[in-house]
Amino acid sequence: MAGGRYPPADRPLSVLVVDDEPDVATYLAAVLERKGHVVHTAQNAAEGFAIVKKLRPDVACIDIVMPEETGIALYRRIRADEEVGDVPVVFITALKPEMTTLQDSLTDGSIPEAEGYIEKPPNAEAFVAAVERAAQSRRGQK
């Protein structure tokens, strides 16, 4: 990865929201746009991966439960790709038990740890904070 890919803290973030529920994606995009960030949306993992490859967003927010390919599968594809493997990820989920299973998978090393997690329905301020923290975590590594 080339150094300096992540924008300075005073520049808007480029954020990808991947969620199969259009209402949720629209809400999350609006929340981030109100804070001045540039948002792209995808309704499934395949579309999301294509956008990550093309745009290399500062942060990807991924719904875990999606038809065809899960958010976890998309996350693994991103992490395995040497061009975009360092894009920070914030998981979005509606199921608390699923979070526990995911956290267990992270602990046992079967899934690399994401930069953030947010529950549906997300609190607007908490969501923006999670996205900005995720971006900052990568800025600090560059």
- What three-state secondary structure class fits 71? helix
Q: Write down the pTM of the prediction.
A: 0.84
pLDDT at 135: 95
pLDDT at 108: 59
pLDDT (tens digit per residue) in 113-134: 788 888 888 899 999 999 999 9
What mean pLDDT is predicted for residues 8-34? 92
Q: Looking at the domain assignment, is residue 4 inside a domain?
A: no
Return the amino acid letter for 42. Answer: A
The tally of domains found in the chain comes to: 1
Q: Looking at the domain assignment, is residue 129 inside a domain?
A: yes
Q: Looking at the domain assignment, is residue 6 inside a domain?
A: no
CATH label of the domain that carries residue 78:
3.40.50.2300
Domain region containing 122: 14-139
Q: Give the integer Cα–Cα distance in Å for 132 and 21.
A: 23
Mean pLDDT score of the chain: 85
pLDDT (tens digit per residue) in 64-98: 989 999 999 999 999 999 999 999 999 998 766 55
Q: Looking at the domain assignment, is residue 46 inside a domain?
A: yes
Confidence at 11, pLDDT banded by 50, 70, 90: confident
From the list 9, 6, 29, the residue with the least C-alpha distance to 122 is: 29
Structure token pair of residue 13: 């973030």
Q: Looking at the domain assignment, is residue 124 inside a domain?
A: yes
Strands 89-93 and 38-42: unpaired
Structure token pair of residue 11: 């520049």
Q: Give the integer Cα–Cα distance in Å for 142 and 107.
A: 25
Q: Looking at the domain assignment, is residue 66 inside a domain?
A: yes
